Chain A
Amino acid sequence: MLTEAITHHPLFNTVKLGIKSLMLHKLRSGLTMLGMIFGVCSVIAMLAIGEGASHEAQERIKRLGSTNIIINSVKPPEEQDNNTSGRSFGITYGLTYDDASRLQFTIPNVTSVLPMRIIRDNVRFDRYQEPCQVIGTLPSYPTMQGINLVAGRFLSMIDDKHQRNVCVITAGLAHRLFPYQTPINSTIRIQNVYYQVVGLINETGTAEQRPQKGEMEGEPLDNNVYIPLSTVRSRFGETLVRRNAGSFSSETVELHQIIVKMKDTQSVIAAEKQINSLVRRFHEVNDFEIIVPLQLLREAEATKRMFNIVLGSIAAISLLVGGIGIMNIMLATVTERTREIGVRRALGAKKKDIVTQFLIETVVLSIGGGLIGVVLGVLVPLLVSVSTDMVTIVTPWSVGLAFGISGLTGIAFGIYPASQAAELDPIEALRHE
Chain B
Amino acid sequence: MISEPKTIIDIQDIVKIFQVGEVEVRALRGVSVAIEEGTYVAIMGPSGSGKSTMLNILGCLDRPTTGQYFLGGENVAQMDDDTLSAIRGKRLGFIFQSYNLIAQLTVIENIQVPLIYQGVNLKDYEQKCIELAELVGLQDRLDHRPTQLSGGQQQRVAIARSLVNDPLMILADEPTGNLDSKTGAEVLEIIDRLNKQGKTIVMVTHDDDIAQRADRVIRMKDGRVDEDEIRDRD
**Residues of chain A at the chain B interface (Cβ within 8 Å):** 8, 10, 13, 17, 20-21, 23-24, 339-340, 342-353, 426-427, 430
Contacts and interface: CB of A to CB of B under 8 A. Distances in A.
Contacts of A426: 61
B114 A347 contact: yes
Contacts of A346: 59, 61, 88, 94, 100
Nearest to B83: A350
Contacts of B90: 348
B114 A340 contact: no
A179 B102 CA distance: 78
B88 A348 contact: yes
23 contacts: A8-B122, A10-B116, A17-B105, A21-B104, A23-B104, A339-B100, A340-B102, A342-B100, A343-B113, A344-B102, A345-B85, A346-B59, A346-B94, A347-B94, A347-B114, A347-B117, A348-B88, A348-B114, A349-B89, A349-B116, A427-B62, A430-B96, A430-B100
A326 B119 CA distance: 29
B118 to A, nearest CB: 7
B56 interface: yes
Nearest to B123: A8
B89 A351 contact: no
Interface in B27-57: 56
The 6 closest A-B pairs by CB, nearest first: A348-B89, A348-B117, A350-B85, A343-B100, A347-B114, A349-B117
Contacts of A20: 104-105
B82 A8 contact: no
Given A347-B117, A348-B89, A427-B56, 18 more contacts: A13-B116, A20-B104, A24-B103, A339-B100, A343-B102, A344-B117, A346-B61, A348-B86, A348-B88, A348-B118, A348-B165, A349-B116, A349-B117, A350-B82, A351-B81, A426-B61, A427-B62, A430-B61
Given A8-B123, A430-B100, A350 B86 contact: yes
Contacts of B62: 427
A8 B121 contact: yes
A351 B114 CA distance: 14
A347 B118 CA distance: 10
Nearest to B113: A347
B25 to A, nearest CB: 15
B199 interface: no
Contact of B117 (A8, A342, A350): A350
Contact of A13 (B61, B94, B122): B122
Contact of B82 (A24, A339, A351): A351
B56 to A, nearest CB: 6
A173 B46 CA distance: 104
B216 interface: no
Contacts of A427: 56, 61-62
Interface in B160-207: 161, 165
A126 B13 CA distance: 119
Interface string B91-135: 000101000101111000000011011110111000000000000
Contacts of A352: 82
The contact size tier of chain B is 20 to 34
Contacts of A353: 117
B147 to A, nearest CB: 11
A430 B100 CA distance: 8
A70 to B, nearest CB: 69
Contacts of A10: 116, 119
A279 B86 CA distance: 87
Given A8-B122, A13-B116, A348 B104 contact: no
Nearest to B81: A351
A75 to B, nearest CB: 80
A371 B86 CA distance: 37
B36 to A, nearest CB: 24
B82 to A, nearest CB: 5
Contacts of B103: 24, 340
**Candidate in B56, B88, B118 with the most chain A CB atoms within 10 angstroms:** B88
Contacts of B121: 8
A352 B80 CA distance: 14
Given A10-B116, A427-B56, A427-B61, A347 B81 contact: no
A426 B60 CA distance: 10
B100 A24 contact: no
A430 B174 CA distance: 14
A21 B122 CA distance: 20
A13 B117 CA distance: 11
B208 to A, nearest CB: 25
A349 B82 CA distance: 8
B223 to A, nearest CB: 17
Interface in B4-26: none
A130 B101 CA distance: 85
A3 to B, nearest CB: 13
Contacts of B82: 350-352
A430 B158 CA distance: 15
Contacts of B81: 350-351
A91 B85 CA distance: 97
B51 to A, nearest CB: 14
A345 B62 CA distance: 12
A349 B81 CA distance: 10
A427 B88 CA distance: 13
Contacts of A24: 103-104
B138 to A, nearest CB: 18
A236 to B, nearest CB: 86
B61 A348 contact: no
A427 B58 CA distance: 13
